[in-house]
Structure 1
């Protein structure tokens, strides 16, 4: 079946829509159906986060011009999201890799927290107690013997924007039930050197080459 969301991006769209029923309307050009996973939507989100991530994190203040009182009220917003609760190999590998890196950070005297669910472009924020400075760690866990690793465009941009604070943690996860206690870890600083092209959503890197560039966690 042809997937309407997986079309390559174009430089110009005569018309787009977000509902399948509106793709074909009499008298109007055929619309591009924009949905989760569409390259145009992915590029728009990546560009927005790249330019305005810090501003979005600050939140906003809403002012009612018709209300002259000084009473402060809160606007409650509920966000629904899908969390990774998989128990298959991929889900277990991701959990084992993150757990191993957090343990390595604690052994170094730092205070790590898992922020992967926040979609920050990295997985762990690790605080240095003496200074309060944060280490931002993107975790990539692969089964021992894997050839490549995939990094998203957003992850690359975040690394380029935080060259002195971001660490790419490469974790080799063994095929075993006790994988969390037998992981091998290499840390790689300044892992990327240029921003991907606009239409690129992710990049595959040679795992062994990155691994050889890394060092033991420090």
Structure 2
């Protein structure tokens, strides 16, 4: 399979050790392991085979439950794959793939609600055996809006929003890199060409004066200059092809229906009052974000609220001097609260961005004031796959946290 998909290295028939953590590649006293990460032929081949055998499951879809949603309005997540090409030849394809991204389109009864780049389904769970069957759920009048027309709406939305956004992001980054590369290529090769042109002229004059060089003559020096000219032209042509960046049409891969916990309770005849009204919870969260954004500005950073983009954090804070980003998840709790709930995606994001991730805890005091605590590397390991959220002891997190910085 590796040869079919064109991996640069073959897949071995057996591996003595493989690891997914770079720090475990060569611990003392053990054989060196293969570091399996995106781009490794073993991982690429396994992913390709898995998709080949199970892609139809994505098309069939699934019904998932959002236990954190006490409402009764369901929504649909549609998965689209979007690819960016450049102008370099790539076999039978129009261009070489330089970026491929899976985007999750969020649709509600009133139409598209936005799109997400991370895996939102990790915060949901499958239906339990004692819960309504998918057919029973889909037969309800609340789901009449879910039909085949959603596929067309998804394609139109992706063409209008996903493709331009992805293209602009990739193009900006690639163009900046290509401009630097072109400048470096021109500088280096032009200097070499000038050197050999000068060397050829110098040798020609010496040869006319009867001073021959047994190791190098003027024709050989001129030939090297010509070769460098050709090499420069070829490299500039390659860079020109790399600048021909274009977006392919998005491909709809599948989807899932996300049913809120509140709707399942309603269908089962259960009534459960949430401990805090959703509007109050949202107000507390919004107030906590405003406080943390103010703290970030006071520290000299440039914060942006990303709460509604569902990226696994709430605030993106830019360091002005370097452009580096701080990823801040905000939790607002009243003084003495027992726990803080963190979603699977928030934990995974913190582990993936461990150097720049901050858990900001806003503690609302009884006297109306508040305290802000910053905790770096808040989570130590990934939860089990079937976990949608984890509750952490509030007091224990505060003991590990420090002043904002």
**What interval of TM-score do these two structures reach, taking the shorter chain for normalisation?**
0.5 to 0.7
Matches within 5 A, 1:42-57: none
The equivalent position to 1:124 in structure 2, one of 292, 310, 315, is 315
Match of residue 61, structure 1, among 224, 247, 252: 247
Larger of the two Rg values belongs to structure? 2
Q: Summarize the alignment of residues 19-38 of structure 1 with structure 2, pairs less than 5 Å apart.
A: 20-21=138-139
Indicate the structure with greater helix content: 2
| Partner residue, 1:184 | 371
Q: Is the 8 A contact 1:9 1:199 kept in 2?
A: no
1:197 aligns with 2:384: yes
- 1:209 is matched with 396
Match of 2:17 in 1: none
Aligned to 2:330: 139
Relative to the length of structure 1, the TM-score reads 0.62
Correspondence 1:149 to 2:335: no
* Structure 2, unaligned runs of 5 or more: 1-63, 68-124, 141-164, 168-245, 251-276
Q: Secondary structure at the match of 1:184?
A: strand
1:112 corresponds to 2:303: yes
1:161 is matched with which residue?
A: 352
Structure 1 residue 63: Cα displacement: 4.8
Q: Quote the residue 1:48 is aligned against.
A: none
Q: Following the alignment from structure 1 to structure 2, what is the Cα–Cα distance between the partners of residues 17 and 102?
A: 45
Q: CA deviation at 1:20?
A: 2.6
Give the distance between the partners of 2:248 and 2:400, measured in 1 at CA: 48
Residue by residue over 1:106-131, the C-alpha shift from the partner in whole angstroms, topping out at 9 and shown as x without a partner, is 11100111110100000000011011
Tell me the secondary structure at the aligned position of residue 316 of structure 2. Answer: strand
The structural deviation recorded for 1:96 is 1.5
CA shift for structure 1 position 189: 0.6
What is the number of equivalent residue pairs in this alignment?
155
Give the TM-score normalised by structure 2: 0.34
Match of 1:98 in 2: 289
Could you tell me which runs of 5 or more consecutive residues in structure 1 were left unpaired when the two chains were aligned.
23-56, 65-85
